[in-house]
Structure 1
């Protein structure tokens, strides 16, 4: 017990926890489903990257966006691996290591949302005006979109990291998750955090609110166009694509909003609820995206070949 207390009070480390309620001896069993999810995520996203890399005909904007999404999911998966703590009871994170993980987690989360938004624009162009697809989404346009996504991630994650790193952590350094989240770290600060809260609110408004609205608008325009002019076969293609895209949207944003709402309005809820929501937010999208989007781009490829 004294060793644990010393670890918690150590000013140079954060201490992460496992799954609350369960005894420490059960962590190795709890880690098995986590390990399965991570394996599926890594294998699925790696398979997509390998297929696109080895097939010359897939060097198209739509597959470049899919590659970016797969890389983002791999980065998010590798940034959150908690099985070391569950299997080997590794609980101490240095301040530098915890802030580095904080940066990667939030940067990849913003990138995930940004790539989904870019993919919705790609779907719109591919379905709404397939004849002009190659002239609209040129290499330069795709490159500028990629640069915009990168700048967006930097502008969203780096200021939050800087603002948080300047604050004193004078409470317990015990985190309630298996990794370092902004919502979890900010509650350990014993200083005025209004600037942090306002900046976090701006990021939430820009990412969690605006991106889904734009994606829903894009899918609505696609369906409106297809249902008014296309054949039943084309309508079915468009409906499947929009459905898969909306499922991916729900998987990401419902869990993202859930984590934010619980930390803001349900602070006294069971720690188990916080941990489960955080793991759903960081584990489920990288597992589901390869399944959903491999089907989406298969449908788009079939339609492109049909039009030719």
Structure 2
């Protein structure tokens, strides 16, 4: 491919100025995610944490497919013959992309930020414990013996997780205060922590942009932005009204903005997944050069070239 032709094809996906651009770029992500699942799912893993990571990429693929459906828009014709023109509901889109942000941030926190298997084990155990603990709240409404037995098994699993954390070498090296922080997270059904110089640092969903190494304050407030749309806040109501003001419709611009954030998240996830499972790089590099360049572009735009998936970007000169 001629250099100028390569640059022209890539540029369209770098900036995505139309819904059509967004749809076509999303198809590139979906294609890689599908291939990674299809080719690598049955490869050996070292532990339950890596087995769950293999499921997470499947989840990211289906999230991308649902986003693709939202980008197609919705329309309606009533029984009276009156109709709703095709629109994209950017509030629904924002809710889906917030979930992609959370999944990407969680994956990064467990599988890339951790410096060794012991740090990973603690945060992974906290993540598993949080989910099981939330499920235990429903034990009072369980009716079948099968579900009651499952709840009992999960209680034992939670007890074993606590033992696993207490026996972890990193936990044992922590002072009483920092051990207490981990116990607090167990009680709070939370896992958003990281280890910094033998200290346990609490995190929030908003702060995961920092743990993902997203630079230059690009997305510092993006989680709050998506949350405004995801919850029925008063702000979400008047913003929804403004999106469809006749003659001043902004829903297309909002959808494109939301998708640009989604592309950051999908690219970061893919880069971190390949870092965890290097065999997936072969599948990535089996894609066309344009596809490799544009996926990595959004990753490097967010985090810098030190997080590049490969050197495909150098082909643009």
Per the normalisation by structure 2, the TM-score is 0.38
Structure number with higher helix proportion: 1
How high is the TM-score relative to the length of structure 1?
Answer: 0.39
